[in-house]
Amino acid sequence: MRTDPPGEVLRPTRPFGGTVAFLWTEVLVQAHESLAMATAMVTQTVLLVFVYILNPSLIGVALIGAVLFSAFTLGQRVLNEAAYIRIDHKANDLYLAGPMSPEGYFLGMAAGILVVYIAPIALLGGLAVVVGHLALTTSLALLGLAGLVWLFAASIGYIFSTFFRDNRAIWAYASLFFNVFGVLPPVFYPFGFFPPALQPVALLMPPSAAAALLQSRIGEAALSSGQAELALFGLVAETVVVFLVAIFWARRTVRGP
Amino acid sequence: MATVEEQFPDLPTTGRALPSFGLVGWRWISRNPAVTITPVLIPFIFLYFLSLISPPALLPLEIVGAMLFTMQNIGSWVLGDSATWRIECSLQDMFVASPLSRIRYLFGVAFSNLIAMIPALVVLFLLLDWIGGAQGHPVTWLVVLALFVSLFTLWVLFSAVGIAISSRVRTQREIWPVGNLTFTLLGMLSPLYYPISALPPDWQAAARFLPTTYAALLVQGALGITPATPSQMVLYAGLLGVCATVGLFVCLRLYRWGEA
């Protein structure tokens, strides 16, 4: 029988090794969470109902915002899942003791959650395209920007998850973070409604930056070229930096032998 | 068979449930300040959003809605605490074995969570006084009475809803989705953030079965935002009481304490 030499541990075979395997593990785990799936769209639906009842003329903008917000709140799912596996199941040590790389664990988890929750987001996207009469290029821009927002949120969610020691405290902090970034800035309402002095701040927040770029494409926001560049480059740069930090942090927080 | 009192004559049969759980609530928020900040900020985030997309005249109504929704959400926190203590900490067996009755436990957990919500309610009340007064809807003693009755009723009722659901939840993972789905949907079906007349007819009919609707109509009527005659106000108060009584009865039937 072949055994590993004493004192040696299995090392990750390559960077991002195990991503696909853990993606499907996470898909199977999440697919059993019918309750969590049922609640995936609650906040978005509530905000859309507010808009529909109080100002129906904004429903096109709100639907685009709902798609971006949905991609953003997947980060909260990653946070909950990573914390739950670590704190409640204490299974992350088990997963990471194998040849799976730490970044594969993080990315596989985030991608698995995305796969499971993609259907309701696609439904919202379809509604946004139909109701907002979005052109093909705008629809593709929506897809690409939602992808960037997802990567940013998943990375932030994973990093935050490593700071919690108690499952009970997660909801309060996570809810605050994702509502401050997702509901307060102009994601569900036109960019022009936001106070002018604070508009640069909104352009530096990924969900509202993506929303402002899309609103400008459909004529609901008037962005100067400088504002558009700030939104686009800010979003790309923040996403890349936070993703790299998440990879570094995933490797850094693995418990050594 | 000898009763507990006969077997252990010195065992206390009553306890200071409220101070004890008050201490639990205080320790919880003192160790996790976000627990206080979140319920204060989230209604304001929604109020800010609503103030941008709706006519300014609706702001007092929306502030009242935020107060009622905050109180209703205590149910979600009660659900979370009670389920966590039972499933994760395995503490419920100890509570059951103690002289604490299930009703005192319910009020204790509800009280501990009320502590975290009080700052939000105070700030919202001051805002209502300011904005309502400026828009011709001053906060009178009748408004204070209507608010107190409505908030107290919702506190008791939704805490009971939370604890009843918590006693049926099987895993930690179910807590957040179940609470989120139940309390958000109940809050949104009622006309908390918009006048009931703004809802489609079928929705209005469904909302009339929910106690939160009558709590909202009672306070809106007292403020003069939604016109109501004195007899209508009495009717709203009565229907609030009836809905709450029926809801409490159902919750107490669902609420598992010592059994299995």
Looking at mean pLDDT, say which of A112-126, B108-122, B162-176 comes out highest. Answer: A112-126
- Shortest distance between the Cα of B123 and any Cα of chain A, in A, equals 18
Question: Do the domain assignments include residue B227?
Answer: yes
Residue A162 CA to chain centroid, in angstroms? 16
Minimal Cα distance from B194: which residue of A?
A54
Query: What is the dihedral angle through the alpha carbons of A205, A207, A212, A213, rounded to the nearest 10 degrees?
Result: 100
- Domains held by chain B: number: 1
- Indicate whether B24 pLDDT > 60: yes
Residue of A33, A176, A205 for testing the chain B interface, max B β-carbons within 10 Å: A176
Residue B98 and residue B15 in contact, taking contact as beta carbons nearer than 8 Å: yes
Residues of chain B contacting A35 with CB distance shorter than 8 Å? 174, 177-178, 181
Asked whether the beta carbons of residue B53 and residue A50 sit closer than 8 angstroms, the reply is: yes
| Structure tokens, A95 | 């997963």
User: Which residue, among A43, A46, A53, A80, would best test binding to B if mutated, counting the most B CBs under 10 Å from its CB?
Assistant: A53
**Position B260 in a domain:** no
Gap between the Cα atoms of A43 and B180, Å rounded: 9
Shortest Cα distance, chain A CAs vs residue B218, angstroms: 21
Task: Find the angle CA(A249)-CA(A254)-CA(A257) to the nearest 5 degrees.
Answer: 150
- Quote the tokens at residue A190: 């036109």
In a domain, residue B7? The reply is no
Q: Residue A129 and residue B131: Cα distance in Å, rounded?
A: 39
A88 touches chain B (CB under 8 A): yes
Is the residue at B1 inside a domain? no
Q: Does B203 touch chain A (CB under 8 A)?
A: no
ipTM of this predicted structure: 0.82
Per-residue pLDDT in tens (0 to 9) along chain A, 257 residues: 455 555 555 566 688 888 888 899 889 988 887 777 777 888 899 899 989 988 999 999 999 999 999 999 999 999 988 988 888 777 877 877 778 888 999 999 999 999 999 999 999 999 999 999 999 999 999 999 999 999 999 999 999 999 888 777 787 788 888 888 888 999 999 999 999 999 999 999 999 999 999 999 999 999 999 999 999 999 999 999 999 999 999 988 875 43
The stretch B64-90 carries a mean pLDDT of 88
Contact (CB<8Å) A84/B172: yes
Cβ contacts from A onto B, under 8 A? 90
> Residue B81: which domain range?
16-254
pTM of the model: 0.84
Q: What 8-state DSSP symbol labels residue B3?
A: -
Q: Nearest Cα to A186, choosing from A169, A208, A162? A: A208
Q: Does B53 contact chain A (CB < 8 Å)?
A: yes
Residues of chain A found within 8 Å of residue B45, distances taken between Cβ atoms: 179-180, 183-184
Q: Give the orientation angle of helix A136-161 with respect to helix A225-252, to 10 degrees.
A: 40
